[in-house]
Amino acid sequence: MGKLILLLGLTLPVLCAPKTSLTRCMQCHATSAPPFPMIYRRYLMLYSSKSRIAAHMEAFLRKPSAKGSAMPEGMKSRFHPQNHPAFDAKSIHEAVSELIRTEDVVPRLIVR
C-alpha cells in the first residue's frame, strides 16, 4: 500500500500537470535526470546571455553526446547525456524557450 502511495505521489504531479513543451522532458528530469534549475544555472554560468544559452542547449539536444554536454564531468558520468533522446528541431526550440522562460533568474531578483 505504501509503495502504491509513493508511486502515485511521484507520477501524479507529472500526469496532472498542464501539458507544455516541457512535459515530455519532465518525465525524466523530474526523477532521474538533472533538474532543470540546476541545468539552467550551469548554462547561465557558462554562457551568460539567453541567446547563447538557447543556442548551446539546442545544439546539444539536436545531437546529444557526453562531449557536447555542458554539465560537469561528475554529472556526465552519473547521468549519461549520450543516452539523451533526440527530438525534432521545433520541439527542441519550444522546450528550450520554455525552459529559459520558467527558469529565468532576472524576475526573481528583488531590488530593495
C-alpha to C-alpha distance for 96 and 93, rounded to whole angstroms: 5
Q: Which is nearer to another protein, 19 or 112 (CB)?
A: 112
Judged by beta carbon, residue 32 or residue 49, the one nearer another protein is 49
38: phi > 0 → left, psi -120 to 50 → alpha, else beta; which? Answer: alpha
Q: What angle do CA 36, 46, 27 make, to 5 degrees?
A: 15
C-beta of 41 vs 78, nearer to another protein: 41
Q: How far is the CB of 48 from another protein (least distance, A)?
A: 4
For the bound state, the minimum distance from the C-beta of residue 2 to another protein, rounded and expressed in Å, comes to 29
CB 31 to another protein: min, Å:
18
φ and ψ at residue 66, rounded to 5 degrees: -65, -35
Name the minimum Å distance from CB 29 to another protein: 15
By the criterion CB under 8 A, which residues form the site for another protein?
Answer: 37, 41, 44-53, 105-106, 108-112
Beta carbons of 100 and 50 less than 8 angstroms apart = yes
Angle between helices 36-47 and 50-62 (to 10 degrees): 120
Q: For residues 13 and 63, which CB has a smaller minimum distance to another protein in the complex?
A: 13
